[in-house]
Amino acid sequence: MKYKVGDTVLIKELDEMLIEFGDHAGGIDCFPWFNPRMEKYCGKEYKILSINNNGFYNLVINGIDDFENWSFSDDMIKCKVEDDDFKEGEMIEVRDHNSNPWERRIFFAESTSDNPYKYVCIDGGLGSYYEKEYKNMESYGLTSWKYARKIKPSCDGKEVEIEGRTYTLKLKD
């Protein structure tokens, strides 16, 4: 087993598993067999709730055990999603549900309550009115989010912001 209880993992895309393991009786020939009804979990991030006696992972969706008793194996998991250790004032990406798009917000604090919406951020996105208020140490609104991740720099030859500094990326020929 590569992962432990509490890790957030990314389930492989269906096409990726088909290429890696092949099709068998309408499912993916990995171990254990990947049932076609599990496709709705592909390409999404989930937290490991428990590890069963066979060494397979039971995952959590929407804050509850909602997996129709499916078990997932190392073969079905692409990677562990990085642990997020955010600093106050850091620009991060947040969303409320796995199917919603990521939005950029300024991280303020992490709630210690049992509320699944634990990432408390400044209202408004990049370049917003609230960002100016935050930097000037004025009052501002706060919103809680369920999911958060660090912003990964892009390599498109444009400017990118990393930890409050702006860099211009130049791609080599």
pLDDT in tens, 43-62: 888 888 888 888 899 887 65
What's the gap between Cα 147 and its chain centre?
7
Q: How confident is the model at residue 173 (pLDDT cuts 50, 70, 90)?
A: very low
Q: Which residue has the tokens 């039971």?
A: 58
Q: How confident is the model at residue 68 (pLDDT cuts 50, 70, 90)?
A: low
Residue ranges of domains in the chain:
8-80, 91-168
Whether residue 40 is predicted with pLDDT greater than 80 in this model: the reply is yes
Report the predicted TM-score, pTM, of the whole model to 2 decimal places.
0.49
Q: How confident is the model at residue 156 (pLDDT cuts 50, 70, 90)?
A: very low
Q: How confident is the model at residue 87 (pLDDT cuts 50, 70, 90)?
A: confident
Nearest to 30 by CA among 48, 47, 10, 12: 12
Sheet with 45-51, strands from edge to edge, namely: 57-60, 45-51, 8-11, 77-80
Q: How confident is the model at residue 74 (pLDDT cuts 50, 70, 90)?
A: very high
Contacts with 171 (C-beta within 8 Å, 6 or more apart), sequence order: 155, 157
- The DSSP bridge partners found for residue 71 are none
CB atoms within 10 A of CB 17: 23
pLDDT in tens, 94-152: 888 777 788 888 777 777 666 677 777 776 655 555 556 666 655 566 777 888 887 76
Cite the DSSP H helix spans in 92-170. 129-135
- Reading the block at residue 27, the tokens are 């499912």
Spatial distance between the Cα atoms of 150 and 162, rounded to a whole number of angstroms: 10
User: Judging by DSSP bridges, how do beta strands 119-122 and 45-51 pair with one another?
Assistant: unpaired
Spatial distance between the Cα atoms of 47 and 116, rounded to a whole number of angstroms: 12
